[in-house]
Amino acid sequence: MARASVPDPSDFLAVDADLSAEERDIRDAVRDYAAAELSPRIAEWYESNTLPRDIAKGLGSLGLLGMHLEGYGCAGTNATSYGLACRELEAVDSGLRSFVSVQGSLAMFAIHRWGSEEHKQTWLPRMATGDALGCFGLTEADAGSDPGSMRTRARRAGSGPDADWVLDGSKMWITNGTLADVAVVWAQTDPDAGSKGIRGFVVPTDTPGFTANEVKHKLSLRASLTAELVLEGVRLPADAAFPEVRGLKGPLSCLNEARYGILWGAVGAARACYESALAYSIDREQFGQPIAGFQLTQRKLADMVVAVNQAGLTASRIGRLKDAEALHPAQVSFGKMANVRAALDVARTARTVLGGNGITLEYPVFRHMTNLETVLTYEGTEEMHALSIGQAVTGIAAFR
Amino acid sequence: MARASVPDPSDFLAVDADLSAEERDIRDAVRDYAAAELSPRIAEWYESNTLPRDIAKGLGSLGLLGMHLEGYGCAGTNATSYGLACRELEAVDSGLRSFVSVQGSLAMFAIHRWGSEEHKQTWLPRMATGDALGCFGLTEADAGSDPGSMRTRARRAGSGPDADWVLDGSKMWITNGTLADVAVVWAQTDPDAGSKGIRGFVVPTDTPGFTANEVKHKLSLRASLTAELVLEGVRLPADAAFPEVRGLKGPLSCLNEARYGILWGAVGAARACYESALAYSIDREQFGQPIAGFQLTQRKLADMVVAVNQAGLTASRIGRLKDAEALHPAQVSFGKMANVRAALDVARTARTVLGGNGITLEYPVFRHMTNLETVLTYEGTEEMHALSIGQAVTGIAAFR
Amino acid sequence: MARASVPDPSDFLAVDADLSAEERDIRDAVRDYAAAELSPRIAEWYESNTLPRDIAKGLGSLGLLGMHLEGYGCAGTNATSYGLACRELEAVDSGLRSFVSVQGSLAMFAIHRWGSEEHKQTWLPRMATGDALGCFGLTEADAGSDPGSMRTRARRAGSGPDADWVLDGSKMWITNGTLADVAVVWAQTDPDAGSKGIRGFVVPTDTPGFTANEVKHKLSLRASLTAELVLEGVRLPADAAFPEVRGLKGPLSCLNEARYGILWGAVGAARACYESALAYSIDREQFGQPIAGFQLTQRKLADMVVAVNQAGLTASRIGRLKDAEALHPAQVSFGKMANVRAALDVARTARTVLGGNGITLEYPVFRHMTNLETVLTYEGTEEMHALSIGQAVTGIAAFR
Amino acid sequence: MARASVPDPSDFLAVDADLSAEERDIRDAVRDYAAAELSPRIAEWYESNTLPRDIAKGLGSLGLLGMHLEGYGCAGTNATSYGLACRELEAVDSGLRSFVSVQGSLAMFAIHRWGSEEHKQTWLPRMATGDALGCFGLTEADAGSDPGSMRTRARRAGSGPDADWVLDGSKMWITNGTLADVAVVWAQTDPDAGSKGIRGFVVPTDTPGFTANEVKHKLSLRASLTAELVLEGVRLPADAAFPEVRGLKGPLSCLNEARYGILWGAVGAARACYESALAYSIDREQFGQPIAGFQLTQRKLADMVVAVNQAGLTASRIGRLKDAEALHPAQVSFGKMANVRAALDVARTARTVLGGNGITLEYPVFRHMTNLETVLTYEGTEEMHALSIGQAVTGIAAFR
């Protein structure tokens, strides 16, 4: 009987042993890039509430923008590889993964999935390299969990299918809104028709009437730029609209993509917090011994080990389902809810291991902990995903 | 893009889709047998605190006794198959899985791994069919989490390696103790030598001086028989001892096997509770609608879905590691701690969904919930496994 | 500066120091009686699922039946005293407190509050001594959290206000139903009029058509008898009905009384579990020292200390509000929800401290733990009380 | 029977109804001052990581500095009044309460309790008015939970009791360190004598060799200034030392005072978070109704109601014990552990009610949540207080 070796503290169930060579290469490439280019600067970005636009080029050169899309200059990897990239980026900061999620899973995916050939040709290649940035305008100040109640309106400037569109309204909590060259904006086209009337528009951000105002005073996800988009009589050509998709199906398909990246990313944030606490506990001495030797600390570490690795297993499983094109949105809800919840719990526990040192930017844990509050909320709150899972197993919708 | 189907409420992440055909057959055979022979009688057994000995024959004929052992009439399946059998049995009752664990993972495994060829030939074939039953005497009333402090003693009746052994002491919490034909008993052979002196003995239960007293007044695991073993001058031939193994390594190797079965079994108990609550919630109406339609119920269901399926994923992963002979005891601790904890949480939540109906034997949930208290404690408490995981990641033992 | 003494482990915040001499005397009398007459026999009653009727006389002679009611042979103590009695009784077993709650807070209170002078004269003096026992029929198998949907019907056997009543229907989960001499039964008098039509009836249990069937197979509150009441053409004189009260207001007023007793009782159950675990932890040695000396045990003890004593404080505060006639039902919901939740948490934690010994009737903890599942459910589930509190602070009802 | 009115959402158990008129006046005065002078500016202070020194004058004029001390210009209120002031200040921000705690409970209390008459005359009157500020130097970078391992040393510059002292070492996490005019510094006077040698010194911060460096990059308690104190050959006259107290008893007596203020303050922070979430939930509509009407929101509100009000009850009880000079340090540990834990839980729950709006400084919740991480850690971590309670009930110390 072979004697198994002591588990890797950071991959306790050896989940990564099942990765293909290509997947492992991608993981390592992102990890190396992050260690060299991102980790050293992240605390400063967080503190100053900035994220330099030029990181887009670096991420693009690694193939991380629109990574799992086919053609138009995108890398076309499998879903697991994309997930690994999200994991390794969010191990640095949720803001970095958010940047990639918005660019690739929301803006680029929307154009790739629902856009006209012209939309794709115009935008995707430049977005894949990071030369152009996109944002995704769905949420409004008064329409969060219930996007169907959005108030942004698109009306025809004239009659007939070739008439221009005019958009009015505003969007809130829009990541990369102030950086973006192009915004995918969802609007009601017919107030009387309910959610069926929602359509998506490709809006160059230099269109007159379009402004993006940065959201200030954030205490979370500060290495990410968040904006309010204001659309005042934004006039667009008829072909600015996505040609076919109608209703919430369009934006929800994109959210589903973004949530997939989040459920992987959360594993990275959780792992980073746990690793920080583990290292600290071994290094830090009180009462004449490393605090890692106290039962109360070991209990925390063990709970973190379970949470981090069950989240990792969950992401891995969901990745394989997506690679097999067998992934249902309720399973994405499972992963988003379970993994972000786990990551937040781990971050909070890790914070206590660090004691007073846990409250500054010297260690990554508090930063992750604050970020994860946003991650818990955006792309569907914990409650909304619980109700999605509930609906999947009971057949009854309980949102209202 | 293929549209994935709604997830199976009982296998939300489709973990069983990865089983081989043979594994699936074993799963189904156990499930069918349990549904036909065990489920209909389990509440009665629990209430009357009995477990008929003749179920051994049925379990043996299915190949479930010593299932993952090679030769000597054992089925020789892989570890995943054994885990699936444990899962399906414990979906009926933890007592049934305990029965199989004690027979196969403790008594038979001990003889198979550490016994002489004669021990194996004498006992294993009859134990595999259920004609002979075994038990495993390690724990003592005052030596639970710390088995090294056991007081049961084995001394030589004379001098030299051929002298008989004489065993004195007592063992507590011994499953199947009153049913067993043979007991594997661990005893200190040299009080001065610390745990190194512990050796294992194959003790026919009809040996003079050996008695088994049933533990009464149990409120948990009542479809399982628990005994105190008393050894008063139990004289055994020299070759009754396991020839080579010394110290705690012997019994711990067996516990590791049993814990492996537990971590799978807990998934079954959790699933059964969740399924009971889900079905009840759809059926039960209050305020003019199924309680499944209330947000507070859906929240519980969603939390159970996550817990049941993460436990299932964990068991599956650990099974594959064991099949690859790459499983470390700390990973078993991970699975035992995480999955039993999850099962207990699910049982408690499910109990509340059932309301008043949850307090009787009409529904399986309360029974599972009480059982899981024992499962949480035996084969290493939650705390001991947390410290094992802690030791694995920190390198520091904090048990004392 | 005076040096305060080390806190009493069982009354860590010295809450009982504020009791009046009379209150302290009542507390001590109940405690002494319980220690002498109840504690020694409770495990046996629980195991055999019995509760001898003759304990009623003992409880009556102490003045505990209808204790806080005025006149008619009742003790007429203040609410705090009644709460203390509930606390000390439930420290032995929730079934004993349930016995007193049903007799005093449900059956006697209903008659005292809503009955005619004749009802009071007929029943209350004999009920106060324990010569007569009462039960309270509100819940039905299909009407639990939503009592307004009850199906039991009372119709007039003729016309006019002097016509007899005829009751048909059934009631479920009725404590003391098989012991009772009189049942207070709530029934719809006018199916078309909604809950406004509900009236209460004083039903001697020897009335033809009335039967009580014991609920079997209980795994909780086994030292308490639970029944289904079946009413088939139960004919009662016109004055069997409570003269004035209509609608759910009647039964809810009684539930509010019973819940008051529960929120005190839960403190007793919690304290008993904690005390058992504390004593065990000091006595039990593993790894060469009392397990009370391990950090993981101390963490559990500290959490129990907080839970037990905050529950005690809460009960004390609510008692004083009730003594001042300033207690609102939402505050009772607060106490019932918080204290039963706390007691259950304490019981579960205490169970783990006891290890294997925790699973039998040798120690009170497992018994309390199973009882508290019923206590969590009856007289308003945790969820219903959460929504009551929610309604009180938001002004919005969210039950449906 | 009087009908009680609906409970006050912010004082659900009417705890404040038991306050004396004087206590109520103090509460209201602090509340009014905070509303007028502090609340409007707190977000800005937090964001810019500042706290203007001039707030000391305002707080002093209200009598809040050294409020519960007698003589020397201090207000001399009872402990409950001081607790109420802490509660109302921390309802605005933990940093404000920290300011008052450090000034009054640590620096002033230390001088008042342990200082010479000259120390008192020199410092207390000016500190009570806010003209002079103090800080308290106990914790070191490597001596947090274990202050006995401090490395700061005080040696005699010569021989005899009149020789000057020379202090060398550093102190970390010192609130108000950069603002202070005087520092109470604790140092080892005899390295060989263990903790018995620790003595306290009154150190004017303009003494040569004393420097205070602000701790930057904080993500918590940003409306409070935190410093590292560096002492390099700080020469003090012989009478700079507290004359009598030796060992950890000195600083621990002060910590006990500060913890008393914290356990009250946490109630304020919790209440503020709950009130913010409650108001938001009533105002915020999704799916066509206030989110306060959803069961999942009401569940959160109910849990917050319980947590806030049990914390309030606990503080009130401990206040009365202190007023009666019957308060034991283990009871303070109870209150500090329970109330800060509760406040943090409430803050986290409240944050989720606020959704995306919860992540900015527009609402107070995220700010409180980040503050409470520090409050959880300083003045004894949750774990240290759990072990203190454990020691009180078991008689066994498990810190090491």
Same domain, C34 and C66: yes
CB distance A121 to A62 below 8 Å:
no
Same domain, A157 and A22: no
Looking at CA atoms only, how far is residue B377 from chain C in angstroms?
Answer: 6
What residue of D is the nearest CA neighbor of C332? D13
CB distance A391 to B298 below 8 Å:
yes
Same domain, B117 and B141: no
* Over residues A190-208, mean pLDDT: 81
What is the rounded CA–CA span in Å between residue D103 and residue A14?
53
Q: Provide CB contacts within 8 A for A41, sequence distance 6+.
A: none
What residue of D is the nearest CA neighbor of B293? D295
**Would you tell me how many other CB atoms lie within 10 Å of the CB of residue C53?**
13
- Of B23, B379, B382, B383, the active-site residue reads B379
Mutation target for D interface from C278, C281, C306, C333: give the one with most D CBs within 10 A: C306
**Which of C230, C246, C262 represents a domain boundary (last residue)?**
C246
Element (H, E) at B249: helix B249-283
Provide the β-strand partners of residue A153. Answer: A168, A188
What is the rounded CA–CA span in Å between residue B124 and residue B113?
11
Same domain, D66 and D162: no
What is the rounded CA–CA span in Å between residue D170 and residue D166?
13
- Is residue D160 left, alpha or beta, with left meaning phi > 0 and alpha meaning psi from -120 to 50? left
Do the Cβ atoms of B286 and C355 come within 8 Å? no
Share above pLDDT 90 across residues of chain B, in percent, rounded to a whole number: 96
How confident is the prediction for chain A on average, in pLDDT?
96
Same domain, D345 and D384: yes
Tokens describing residue A202 = 């490709």
What residue of B is the nearest CA neighbor of A384? B299
Chain C residues whose CB is inside 8 A of the D70 CB are none
Q: Provide CB contacts within 8 A for D287, sequence distance 6+.
A: A145, A146, A149, A399, A400
How confident is the prediction for chain B on average, in pLDDT?
96
Same domain, C260 and C281: yes
CB distance B165 to B201 below 8 Å:
yes
Do the Cβ atoms of C278 and D389 come within 8 Å? no
How confident is the prediction for chain C on average, in pLDDT?
96
What is the rounded CA–CA span in Å between residue B103 and residue B176?
8
Do the Cβ atoms of B287 and C144 come within 8 Å? no
**How much is the pLDDT for C195?**
46
| Residue C307 maps to a domain | yes
Q: What is the DSSP string of A44-60?
A: HHHHHT---TTHHHHHH
Q: Provide CB contacts within 8 A for C319, sequence distance 6+.
A: C79, C80, C83, C264
**How much is the pLDDT for D306?**
98
Range of the domain at D330: 250-394
pLDDT digits (tens, 9 = 90+) for A155-185: 999 988 899 999 999 999 999 999 999 999 9
Chain B residues whose CB is inside 8 A of the D302 CB are none
Q: Which of D384, D396, D113 is nearest to D259 (CA)?
A: D384
| Residue C4 maps to a domain | no
| Residue C3 maps to a domain | no
What is the rounded CA–CA span in Å between residue D377 and residue A352?
7
DSSP state of B13: T
**Which of C74, C97, C129 represents a domain boundary (last residue)?**
C129
DSSP 3-state of B77 = coil
**How much is the pLDDT for C15?**
97
Same domain, C99 and C125: yes
The residue behind tokens 């039905």 is: C140
Q: Is A257 a catalytic residue?
A: no
Same domain, D106 and D140: no
pLDDT digits (tens, 9 = 90+) for C287-338: 999 999 999 999 999 999 999 999 999 999 999 999 999 999 999 999 999 9
D touches which chains (3+ CB pairs under 8 A)?
Answer: A, B, C
C touches which chains (3+ CB pairs under 8 A)?
Answer: A, B, D
Q: Which of C359, C364, C371 is nearest to C278 (CA)?
A: C364
The CATH number of residue A72's host domain is 1.10.540.10
For chain D, the domain total comes to: 3
pLDDT digits (tens, 9 = 90+) for D310-336: 999 999 999 999 999 999 999 999 999
- Greatest CA separation for chain B: 81
Q: Name the pairing type of β-strands C210-214 and C226-236.
A: antiparallel
A touches which chains (3+ CB pairs under 8 A)?
Answer: B, C, D
Q: Which of A94, A108, A91 is nearest to A30 (CA)?
A: A91
- Output C8-12 pairs: Cβ under 8 A, ≥24 positions apart: C9/C275, C9/C278, C9/C305, C9/D392, C9/D393, C10/C271, C10/C274, C10/C275, C10/C308, C11/C309, C11/C312, C12/C305, C12/C308, C12/C309, C12/D330, C12/D331, C12/D334, C12/D389, C12/D392, C12/D393
What residue of A is the nearest CA neighbor of B320? A13
| Residue A8 maps to a domain | no
| Residue D1 maps to a domain | no
**How much is the pLDDT for A391?**
98
* Over residues B17-38, mean pLDDT: 98
pLDDT digits (tens, 9 = 90+) for A379-393: 999 999 999 999 999
Is pLDDT of C194 > 60?
no
Three-class secondary structure assignment of chain C: CCCCCCCECCECCCHHHHCCHHHHHHHHHHHHHHHHHHHHHHHHHHHHCCCCCCHHHHHHHCCCCCCCCCCCCCCCCCHHHHHHHHHHHHHHCHHHHHHHHHHHHHHHHHHHHHCCHHHHHHHHHHHHHCCCCEEEECCECCECCCHHHCCCEEEECCCCCCCCEEEEEEEEEEECCCCCCEEEEEEECCHHHHHHHEEEEEEECCCCCEEEEECCCECCCCCCCEEEEEEEEEEECHHHECCCCCCCHHHHHHHHHHHHHHHHHHHHHHHHHHHHHHHHHHHCEECCEEHHHCHHHHHHHHHHHHHHHHHHHHHHHHHHHHHCCCCCHHHHHHHHHHHHHHHHHHHHHHHHHCHHHHHECCCCHHHHHHHHHHHHHCCCCHHHHHHHHHHHHHCCCCCC
Burial classification of residue D29, based on how many CB atoms lie within 10 Å of its CB (0-12 exposed, 13-18 middle, 19 or more buried): middle
What is the rounded CA–CA span in Å between residue B26 and residue B38?
17
Residues in chain A: 400
Do the Cβ atoms of C217 and B47 come within 8 Å? yes
The CATH number of residue D194's host domain is 2.40.110.10
Of D281, D313, D386, the CB nearest to C394: D281
What residue of C is the nearest CA neighbor of A293? C295
Looking at CA atoms only, how far is residue B363 from chain D in angstroms?
Answer: 27
Q: What are phi and psi of B165, to 5 degrees?
A: -100, 150
| Residue D152 maps to a domain | yes
CB distance D277 to D365 below 8 Å:
yes
Do the Cβ atoms of C376 and B352 come within 8 Å? yes
Same domain, B197 and B215: yes
Is pLDDT of D60 > 60?
yes
Q: Name the pairing type of β-strands C153-156 and D198-204.
A: unpaired
Of D145, D296, D362, the CB nearest to A286: D145
CA angle D3-D8-D11, nearest 5°? 120
CA D387 vs. chain centroid, Å, equals 21
Chain B residues whose CB is inside 8 A of the A395 CB are 282
Same domain, A58 and A161: no
Do the Cβ atoms of C217 and B376 come within 8 Å? no
Is pLDDT of D355 > 70?
yes
**Which of A129, A152, A169 represents a domain boundary (last residue)?**
A129
* Over residues C18-23, mean pLDDT: 98
Global pTM reads 0.97
Residue C159 banded pLDDT, cuts 50, 70, 90: confident
**How much is the pLDDT for C192?**
53
What residue of B is the nearest CA neighbor of C350? B373
Tokens describing residue D97 = 């309460």
ipTM confidence? 0.96
**How much is the pLDDT for C191?**
59
CB distance B332 to B255 below 8 Å:
no
What is the rounded CA–CA span in Å between residue D210 and residue C290?
48
* Over residues B249-265, mean pLDDT: 97
* Over residues B158-164, mean pLDDT: 90
Mutation target for B interface from D291, D294, D296, D400: give the one with most B CBs within 10 A: D296
How far are the Cα atoms of A35, C317, C383, D2, D191 from residue C327, in angstroms, in the given order?
Answer: 61, 10, 21, 9, 60
DSSP 3-state of D116 = coil
- What is the crossing angle of helices A295-323 and C295-323, to 10°? 90
Q: What are phi and psi of D314, to 5 degrees?
A: -65, -45
Looking at CA atoms only, how far is residue A290 from chain B in angstroms?
Answer: 9
Is pLDDT of C384 > 80?
yes
**How much is the pLDDT for B3?**
64
Same domain, D101 and D233: no
CB distance C358 to C351 below 8 Å:
yes
| Residue C2 maps to a domain | no
How far are the Cα atoms of A63, A176, C67 from residue A109, in angstroms, in the given order?
Answer: 15, 16, 71
Do the Cβ atoms of C310 and D9 come within 8 Å? no
Residue A190 banded pLDDT, cuts 50, 70, 90: confident
Do the Cβ atoms of C296 and A296 come within 8 Å? yes
Element (H, E) at D333: helix D329-353
**How much is the pLDDT for C3?**
64
Mutation target for A interface from D226, D286, D289, D382: give the one with most A CBs within 10 A: D286
Chain C residues whose CB is inside 8 A of the B360 CB are 215-219
**How much is the pLDDT for B159?**
86
Same domain, D205 and D254: no
Do the Cβ atoms of C387 and D298 come within 8 Å? yes
Chain D residues whose CB is inside 8 A of the B295 CB are 294-296
Chain D residues whose CB is inside 8 A of the C249 CB are none
Do the Cβ atoms of D296 and B294 come within 8 Å? no
Is pLDDT of C190 > 90?
no
| Residue A205 maps to a domain | yes
Residue C193 banded pLDDT, cuts 50, 70, 90: very low
The CATH number of residue C353's host domain is 1.20.140.10
Do the Cβ atoms of B306 and A338 come within 8 Å? yes
Q: Name the pairing type of β-strands A226-236 and A165-175.
A: antiparallel
DSSP 3-state of B138 = coil
- Count of alpha carbons within 13 angstroms of residue C71, beta-carbon side: 7
What is the rounded CA–CA span in Å between residue D193 and residue D187?
12
* Over residues D228-240, mean pLDDT: 98
Do the Cβ atoms of C321 and D13 come within 8 Å? yes
CB distance D213 to D205 below 8 Å:
no
* Over residues A301-317, mean pLDDT: 98
**How much is the pLDDT for B161?**
86
Is pLDDT of A1 > 50?
no
